[in-house]
Structure 1
Amino acid sequence: MNAFRAGLACALSLCAGQLAAQECAPSKWGAEDQLGSANLVTPENTLAAASLIRQGKSMPLGIVIDSETPAFAPRSLSLQVVQPNQQGGQKLDAFGYPGNYNDDVLQTWVGIGSQIDGLGHLGEKGLYYNCNDEKEIAAITGLTKLGVHAIPPLVGRAVIVDMAVHAGKEHLDAGESFGPEEIQAAAEAQGVEFREGDIILFHTGWTDAMLENDPQAWVSGEPGIDNAGSDWVAGLNPMAVGADTWGVEPVPAKEGDGTFYGHVILLQQNGIYILETMNTGPLLEEGVNEFFFVLGQARIRGTVQMIINPVALY
């Protein structure tokens, strides 16, 4: 009887896996693709985006983080600065250098502060981008496919859509959402044109208003794009979608929407990267909502996410 039950369980598991595979469509970039929208980084698109550098200025899109930066639980960060082998006034004598130096030891989750979500971050029914099965790619020592280390430098045209200004507010409130109609209306009013391969960023004012003033409230909720908005934006074929919030979608979620299901729509269903906690406010204060975007993330093999500091050139 036990053997029968084990065989039945195995058969049911196999059938479930086959059904999930049948529900998953291969990527438009091919059944073996692991890069998703990074395929939109082309010499032609890069040269066109470089023409947006008109003032010769640059600005960081990443925020400064430390051990006090609030993060999606249980993520944390701890930094120690040490002077190895220099106790009691000892001096380093390696390689003929009798001097002193500092080193740092960092223990951290890499999904803190400004970050990129790779295609192996969120999936559905055990599957990730391009039908990759969690049982085959998610090792404790790192992803065997879809790792952030494999993403080529993301360079291209970026645009910011100011959803706070569109709503007539300094900042949107936690749980407040926007969808296709609001995005299109805001873009039209602000002269923002969407093109294939863009990095599309939404400004809600949430981080500027809340991160320092009320960090617990900042990480407990947020405004953001609803599921219909994620679907619509995905249809524009962007390279990445991001916001000045820690999770891009509203928390609490819009009624009828799945919590963080926009991540599934963008990452798993469309291979589009997500950029979180982008520092969009200072650029908008400069009157800039279109610029050349450059991102080269740390290449730690097998990571799901990575702390980043993209650069806006304009």
Structure 2
Amino acid sequence: MTDALLSAVQGGLDVVDLGRQLRVGMPQSPNHPQFWHTLPRRHGDMTRADGGSAANDMITMGCHVGTHIDALAHVSHDGLMFGGIDAMQAGVGGKYDALGVHSIAPMIRRGVLLDIAGLHGVDCLDGGYEITVGDLEAAAKNADGGVGEGDVVVIRSGWGTKFAEGGAYVGGPSGVPGVGEAGAQWLAERRIHAAGADTIAFERLAPGGGHALLPAHRVLLVESGIYLIEALDLEELAGRGWAEFTLVLVPLNIYGATGSPVRPLAVRTA
């Protein structure tokens, strides 16, 4: 008997890549080691007797650079991580056994796009704009069934259009739009599996405030056990009007890490 999923794949799929291309010099949070890629061996450095040659690469980077997912081990509050785990004790040995990124199962789930920039009729929300509960509720009406338990919700502010500008994407003096504590609570109440955005830190960053306060990280990662996906590219998804889709995301299986680069895919039957 042919598997229904295999039949759908063989029938043709439409795929939108939600991940950013990893490039040296791309914008990132100043809190994390930068991405670096080099070729320690180039073609011609060594040539075999038959004329063959091979090149190889080396990369170094933080686990929270480019499009990436935050594991529950990434954030603590008052010394505790999700589930009341002591953050200091959990980090002994330099690995987070219980809540590291290796504990995130591969995701093949319903994805929901909340296009807040589109809701406001703008290409990009203003820096420092706090996405309200009203915004989220209004945008959720575009998806059949709204936002449900186990969904992966991705929020478009339009800020992703600034990614190629470098420093402007990071925010700094301008701040960055995103949900605040109230918006995070709204998402948590719907018992979603993960939340993502097209911004550098998922949530609102106040003008000039940087990463000084991150209440949405506390609500979602620490209090609710909901993963965060940052620096998504949501422009094509919004352009196609995909309010819901199948989200495919697989973190690197790095034992004990606090996050992982990812290349999420939005998938629909053709």
TM-score, normalised with respect to structure 2: 0.87
Change (3 A) 1:125 1:59: same
**Does 2:25 match 1:68?**
yes
Name the SS for the 2:263 alignment partner. coil
- Residue 59 (str. 1) matches residue 11 (str. 2): no
Structure 1 unmatched ranges of 5 or more: 1-46
Supply the AA of the counterpart residue of 2:123.
E
The equivalent residue for 2:192 is 238
- Note the alpha carbon deviations across 1:231-263, whole angstroms, 9 max, x for none: 11101010101111111111117x9xx821100
4+ residue stretches of structure 1 with deviation over 6 A?
50-55
Larger gyration radius, structure 1 or structure 2:
1
Partner of 1:132: 85
1:186 counterpart SS class: helix
State the AA in 2 paired with 1:274. L
Q: 1:184 to 1:131 in 2, by over 3 A?
A: same
What is the distance in 2 between the residues matched to 1:51 and 1:119? 33
- 1:1-314 counterparts in 2 under 5 A? 56-75=13-32, 76-83=34-41, 87=45, 90-92=46-48, 99-139=52-92, 141-188=94-141, 193-208=146-161, 210-212=162-164, 214-220=165-171, 221-252=175-206, 259-314=213-268
1:52·1:291 contact (CA, 8 Å) conserved in 2?
no
**RMSD, aligned α-carbons:** 2.7
Tell me the CA shift for residue 144 of structure 1.
2.6
The answer to whether the 8 A contact 1:86-1:92 is kept is: no
Question: Structure 2: which 5+ residue stretches go unaligned?
Answer: none
User: Would you say how many aligned residue pairs link Structure 1 and Structure 2?
Assistant: 257
Letter of the structure 1 residue corresponding to residue 109 of structure 2: G
In 1, Cα distance between the equivalents of 2:18 and 2:266? 7
CA distance in 1, matches of 2:255, 2:102: 5
Instruction: In structure 1, give the amino acid aligned to 2:21.
Output: V
Name the CA distance, whole Å, in 1 between partners of 2:128 and 2:8: 37
Greater helix proportion: 1
One-letter amino acid of the counterpart of residue 163, structure 2 = L
Q: Distance in 2 between matches of 1:182 and 1:161?
A: 9
Give yes or no for contact 1:179–1:227 (8 Å, CA) kept in 2: no
- Paired residue type of 1:283: L
**Shift of residue 188, structure 1, vs aligned partner:** 2.1
Distance in 1 (CA, whole Å) between partners of 2:54 and 2:75 is 41
Quote the Cα distance in structure 1 between the aligned partners of 2:31 and 2:213.
18
Report percent identity of matched pairs.
26
Assess, with a 3 A threshold, how the Cα gap between structure 1 residues 190 and 237 changes in structure 2: closer, same or farther. Answer: closer
- State the shift of 1:99 in Å: 2.6
